[in-house]
């Protein structure tokens, strides 16, 4: 089949005295945010190219049709399709969700406490069918405190422009007009007369908080807070004791918070602490005290406490620890629960408020696992919580746990209908030495029968941005590769916070290349220690993890058999220079500001995947993107693919798949998500010659 060719139109770009040629910049439309809302506005020539790439991908993956179907059935067969969540006990009702064999979306249910009559208050499949849309993204689903109203937000394009609806649960009739172009998050007032929401500006940034009176015209909505900085975005939440609303405004690196009482008739947000660059803080209130989770004078965070916010006298409550990330607090009347993260592993601690004795909650004798807690009810006068647990080989388990008696009872276990034996799998945690001596944690999962003599193929997953830590939890999907003798390794590289705030700082801004070096060091370690061999590693990452894949494949392509890049941030220099795009300004403290700072420009220019494609051999590459993605525009992977076709000197396959009705997270619905995973895995098995 003929290889798709994107027309070249040379444009010479210049910044800080440096010039470079971009032959494919023309595909970016000035009205790109309008295109995200309405795909009919897409340049017809660009649409034709994307469709040709889709046909080319289908052609080259035509021999994977059977394995894709098999993978889809396998993955779906490991999911208990007709399942129910554990109920949460509100004051008058218990609420929970369920899924069905045929449905793709969840159903929300409730029953009055003490009765057996179950009500269905939301059915995602029915709502989607009613709207007649191809994409159906649910942003938020909230019930009012008086249990009368259901508020929900929907994105029907994939572009994350959410419309809010509020309806009477009994009559199912809308009680107020829809509110468009919001961030999707909904917060009810305690008297249920209002909702609070954040509105998106013309650059798709939530910078205004409004209060809407139910039943009123949206033109009368009251603006209660506006963020003036284009780099900051805002959100609103209720305190743990239901006494205050907190407005948080932040970028990735700096935050500022305001508060007002829940009974203020005209909300007047008051500042807690002025913002200072690099200082993050988050205040919550409980039982007449205010708790501040902050990195001020505590790189890996601490928690301070005070009795009032008007004239605060902050005192230490949880002290900082070196390279141990201190998490937030969960409150009950007699207990405070908190988390810590170190060496890419989480721990949970519980404190008796009366005795002030703190103990670690011990979950398992497994070395690598993910703990979690959730509240069982809204009433905080209880000793009971839910404890959650999973590991790379052990499906999730949830226990009802009594904090006082320490009794626990299994209340839910993740069922694998097609069968699963944890003893068939081996999980290892090792550390590899990076280029500068830093130890990078690797979580390795393999089938017990897979030989570690260098013959096995290996999938190396990485992300490494925004301080986002990769959790070593159970995944039913990965088993489809692991069962076929492909070792799965998650590299906990810098840019995340697996080793605390320093781990993030060492992987961003002018340290970003450490992220790539950590990943390459991980690949070399796995080769040297016979987990795999050169040309048997398949790299995988999405979004900022796609930036990682793009930078690494330019730098060390010889190590890899293939790359799977999902919605990849590969034209990072062009995006960073465009301050009108939704995320750019808010990410100056993550990636830098190339337009205004020469050193930032030179650094990004030196690693940006699109700008650093070389005339050399590249491995097999599958790139997936979505037409309505507002976070990483489809034109980034499209340009990257076109330029890579022009430069690469090998005969390996290079495929671009564009979902025409999807967003940053891919297609909506359970089956849609499984289809995308099956495509990725079929590609991996094809290049590993396992089909």
The pair of three-digit structure tokens given for residue 578, joined into one six-digit string: 């465009």
Residue with tokens 């910078």: 207
Torsion on CA atoms 119, 123, 129, 132, rounded to nearest 10: 120
**Is residue 576 classed as helix, strand or coil in its secondary structure?**
helix
Options 189, 198, 664, 668, the catalytic residue: 664
Q: Is 184 left (phi over 0), alpha (psi -120 to 50) or beta?
A: left
Respond yes or no: is residue 293 known to be catalytic: no
Which residues neighbour 611 within 8 Å (Cβ) at sequence distance 6 or greater? 20, 573, 605
**DSSP letter for each residue of 425-471:** EEEEEEEEE-TTSPEEEEEEEEETT---SS-SEEEEE----TTPPPP
Strands 457-461 and 537-542: parallel
**DSSP letter for each residue of 328-373:** EEEE-SSEEEEEEEETTEEEEEEEETTT--EEE----S-SS-EEEE
Which residues neighbour 245 within 8 Å (Cβ) at sequence distance 6 or greater? 187, 196, 236, 237, 238, 239, 259, 260, 261, 262, 267
**Is residue 591 classed as helix, strand or coil in its secondary structure?**
helix
The pair of three-digit structure tokens given for residue 551, joined into one six-digit string: 């930078």
Respond yes or no: is residue 629 known to be catalytic: yes
Cα separation, 150 vs 192, in Å, equals 11
For residue 260, what are the β-bridge partners? Answer: 245
CA angle 171, 172, 175 (to 5 degrees): 90
Residue with tokens 């969960």: 330
Which residues neighbour 601 within 8 Å (Cβ) at sequence distance 6 or greater? 15, 16, 18, 573, 592, 594, 595
Options 346, 571, 629, 680, the catalytic residue: 629
Torsion on CA atoms 58, 60, 64, 66, rounded to nearest 10: 60
The pair of three-digit structure tokens given for residue 394, joined into one six-digit string: 């052990």
The pair of three-digit structure tokens given for residue 29, joined into one six-digit string: 């439309």
Cα separation, 143 vs 368, in Å, equals 37
Options 144, 543, 557, 668, the catalytic residue: 543
Closest CA to 172 of 149, 188, 206: 149
CA 638 to chain centre: 23
- Find out whether 676 and 643 touch, Cβ atoms under 8 Å: no
From the number of C-beta atoms within 10 Å of its C-beta (0-12, 13-18, 19+), residue 186 rates as: buried
The pair of three-digit structure tokens given for residue 97, joined into one six-digit string: 């969700």
Respond yes or no: is residue 543 known to be catalytic: yes
Cα separation, 406 vs 305, in Å, equals 28
Q: Length of the chain, please? A: 691
From the number of C-beta atoms within 10 Å of its C-beta (0-12, 13-18, 19+), residue 519 rates as: buried
Strands 222-226 and 233-238: unpaired
User: What are the b/e assignments for 120-139, b being 16+ CB within 10 Å?
Assistant: ebbbbbebbeeeebbbbbbb
The pair of three-digit structure tokens given for residue 517, joined into one six-digit string: 């070096």
Catalytic positions are 543, 629, 664
């Amino acid at each position: 089949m003929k290889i798709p060719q994107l027309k070249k139109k040379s444009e010479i770009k210049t910044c800080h005295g440096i010039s470079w040629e971009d032959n494919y910049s023309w595909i970016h439309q000035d009205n790109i945010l309008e295109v995200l809302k309405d795909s009919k506005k897409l340049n017809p020539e660009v649409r034709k190219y994307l469709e040709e790439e889709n046909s080319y991908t289908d052609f080259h993956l035509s021999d994977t049709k059977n394995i894709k179907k098999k993978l889809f059935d396998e993955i779906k067969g490991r999911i208990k399709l007709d399942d129910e969540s554990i109920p949460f006990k509100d004051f008058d009702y218990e609420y929970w969700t369920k899924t069905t064999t045929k449905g793709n979306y969840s159903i929300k249910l409730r029953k009055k406490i003490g009765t057996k009559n179950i009500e269905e208050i939301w059915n995602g499949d029915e709502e989607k069918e009613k709207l007649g849309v191809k994409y159906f993204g649910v942003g938020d689903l909230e019930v009012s405190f008086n249990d009368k109203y259901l508020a929900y937000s929907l994105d029907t394009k994939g572009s994350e422009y959410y419309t809010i609806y509020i309806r009477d649960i009994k009559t199912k009739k809308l009680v107020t007009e829809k509110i468009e172009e919001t961030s999707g998050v909904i917060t009810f007032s305690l008297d249920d007369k209002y909702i609070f929401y954040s509105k998106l500006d013309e650059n798709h940034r939530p910078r205004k908080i409004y209060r809407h009176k139910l039943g009123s015209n949206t033109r009368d909505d009251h603006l209660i807070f506006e963020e003036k900085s284009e780099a900051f975005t805002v959100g609103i939440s209720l305190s743990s004791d239901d006494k205050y609303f907190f407005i948080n405004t932040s970028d990735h690196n700096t935050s500022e918070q305001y508060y007002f009482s829940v009974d203020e008739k005209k909300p007047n947000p008051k500042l807690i602490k002025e913002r200072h660059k690099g200082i993050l803080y988050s205040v919550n209130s409980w039982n007449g005290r205010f708790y501040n989770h902050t990195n001020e004078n505590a790189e890996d965070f601490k928690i301070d406490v005070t009795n009032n916010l008007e004239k605060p006298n902050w005192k230490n409550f949880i002290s900082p620890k070196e390279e141990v990330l201190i998490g937030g607090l969960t409150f009950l009347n007699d207990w405070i629960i908190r988390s810590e993260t170190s060496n890419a592993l989480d721990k949970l601690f519980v404190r008796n408020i009366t005795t002030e004795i703190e103990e670690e909650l011990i979950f398992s004798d497994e070395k690598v696992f993910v703990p979690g807690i959730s509240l069982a009810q809204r009433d905080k006068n209880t000793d009971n919580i839910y404890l959650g647990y999973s590991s790379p080989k052990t499906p999730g388990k949830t226990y009802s746990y009594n904090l006082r008696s320490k009794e626990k009872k299994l209340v839910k276990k993740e069922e694998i209908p097609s069968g699963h034996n944890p003893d068939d799998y081996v999980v290892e945690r090792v550390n590899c030495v990076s280029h500068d001596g830093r130890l990078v944690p690797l979580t390795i999962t393999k089938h017990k029968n897979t030989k570690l003599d260098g013959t096995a193929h290996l999938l190396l997953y990485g992300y490494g941005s925004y301080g986002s830590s990769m959790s070593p939890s159970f995944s039913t999907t990965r088993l489809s590769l692991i069962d076929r003798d492909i070792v799965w390794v998650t590299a906990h590289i810098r840019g995340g916070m697996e080793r605390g705030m320093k781990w993030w700082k060492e992987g961003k801004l002018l340290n970003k290349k450490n992220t790539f070096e950590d990943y390459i060091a991980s690949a070399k370690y796995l080769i040297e220690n016979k987990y795999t061999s050169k040309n048997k590693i398949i790299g995988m990452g999405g979004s900022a993890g796609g930036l990682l894949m793009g930078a690494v494949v330019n730098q060390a392509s010889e190590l890899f058999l293939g790359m799977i890049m999902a919605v990849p941030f590969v034209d990072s220099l062009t995006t960073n220079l465009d301050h009108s795009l939704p995320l750019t300004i808010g990410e100056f403290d993550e990636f830098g500001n190339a337009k205004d700072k020469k050193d930032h420009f030179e650094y990004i220019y030196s690693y940006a995947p699109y700008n650093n494609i070389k005339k050399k051999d590249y491995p097999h590459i599958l790139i997936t993107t979505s037409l309505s993605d507002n976070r990483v525009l489809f034109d980034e992977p499209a340009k990257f693919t076109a330029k890579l076709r022009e430069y690469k000197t090998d005969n390996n396959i290079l495929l671009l798949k564009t979902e025409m009705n999807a967003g940053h997270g891919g297609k909506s619905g359970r089956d849609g998500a499984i289809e995308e995973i099956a495509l990725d895995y079929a590609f991996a098995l094809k290049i590993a010659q396992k089909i």
